[in-house]
Structure 1
Amino acid sequence: MSKRILVLDDNHDILDVVSETLSYEQFEVQGTSQSETVLPLVKNSHPNLIILDYRVAGLNGGELCQQIKSDPDFKDIPIIIFSAYVNHADELFAYGCDAIINKPFDLTELVNKVNTLLQ
């Protein structure tokens, strides 16, 4: 059974590339561009890993990460935050994420971090 990954990014090009790359790596990928759909998707699909863009409309990726990690049912799901704001890594880790990927990012780095967190 393949691992399920939920991806939030409001840039449809990035969402498509990430989804295609992870699908190619045999992951089941569910993507969304709207932050308000993330929590219902987590509750309904119980992903094995979540990737959140930090800067999106509505709740940002950090706030979503905090909400997910504060739920006892989902606190152990690894979360990666995408961010173009490299110099704010300490602030991003304060939200409780397990890894940060800086934008622009290398697809090999993405696949390696996903595989590491899912082991």
Structure 2
Amino acid sequence: MGKKILVVEDDKDILFIIGMVLADEGYEPVLFDSGPDGADIRRHMPDLILMDIRIQGYIKTGAEICEELKSTPDFYSIPILMVSAEANIESLSLKCHADGFIVKPFDILGLVNKVKEFLT
């Protein structure tokens, strides 16, 4: 299997689609419909994280999780792309030290190209 990508998305349909697309591209998707904790990240040690900003029913936002990961030496080098329809996704991504962002709704080719940009 290819490089491992951890995907955090509370919309199960979007999560399924992203997982399917990534698998079709030869990546190994690890899917979470709720926020992962440090143990989850450590167990999977992904090559890239796609993180929704708003995680319905979870105590933290994706931006808060991103900020925590980027301040932890074990995880700060893992690229994190924030994924959201938030109007201010760019500033939210910068604030939490994400490596980039993908605007929802996204097209499949755009998603794949953005992932490849960080995994080449």
Q: Does 1:27 align with 2:15?
A: no
Structure 1 stretches of 4+ with a deviation exceeding 3 A read: none
Query: 1:109 — aligned with what?
Result: 110
Q: 1 or 2, which has the higher helix percentage?
A: 1
Query: 2:99 — aligned with what?
Result: 98
TM-score, normalised to structure 1's length? 0.93
Query: How big is the alpha-carbon RMSD for the aligned residues of Structure 1 and Structure 2?
Result: 1.2
Residue identity over aligned pairs, in percent, reads: 36
Which string of whole-angstrom CA distances, capped at 9 and with x for unpartnered residues, describes residues 55-108 of structure 1?
Answer: 113211101101111111111100010111133411321101111111111111
Alpha-carbon distance in structure 1 between the residues aligned to 2:59 and 2:67:
14
TM-score, normalised to structure 2's length? 0.92
Which string of whole-angstrom CA distances, capped at 9 and with x for unpartnered residues, describes residues 26-76 of structure 1?
Answer: 0001101111x3432211110000000001132111011011111111111
